[in-house]
Amino acid sequence: MFRKIGRLFVIKTRFEAYLIIYALALGATARGAGYITQYPGWWGKALFLACTGAVFLAGAKILDALRFERERREVTKAAASESST
């Protein structure tokens, strides 16, 4: 039962990854807009850029992890097919 629930929180496709990155970007821009109003001037803009920059870093990491998982699956599948022959 826990395994079925746990699978809901696993990103399996690039489309799912893009949806999550989009949601992160929406939250980051909302938080950045709050920073601009709370800290007018240069500091607010710098914090806004930091929020959006974090989304770029997180998005790149998510997409790299998907690529790594796909490659690992292929290697495991190839090793299993070689050992069975």
Specify if 3 maps to a domain. Answer: no
Specify if 5 maps to a domain. Answer: no
The pLDDT-based confidence of 5 (bands split at 50, 70, 90) is confident
pTM score, whole prediction: 0.80
Specify if 6 maps to a domain. Answer: no
Q: What is the pLDDT of residues 10-44, one digit of tens each?
A: 888 899 999 999 999 999 999 999 999 999 999 99
Are 62 and 11 spatial neighbours (Cβ–Cβ below 8 Å)? Answer: yes
Q: Give the per-residue pLDDT at 23.
A: 96
Structural domain including 37 reads 15-84
Between the CA of residue 18 and those of 2, 14, 55, 59, 79, what are the distances in Å?
26, 6, 11, 8, 31
> How far is it, in rounded angstroms, from Cα 68 to Cα 44?
36
Query: Looking at the 3D structure of the chain, how many domains does it have?
Result: 1
Q: Please write down the long-range contacts of 22-31, taking CB distance under 8 Å and 24 or more positions apart.
A: 24/55, 24/58, 24/59, 25/52, 25/55, 28/52, 28/54, 28/55
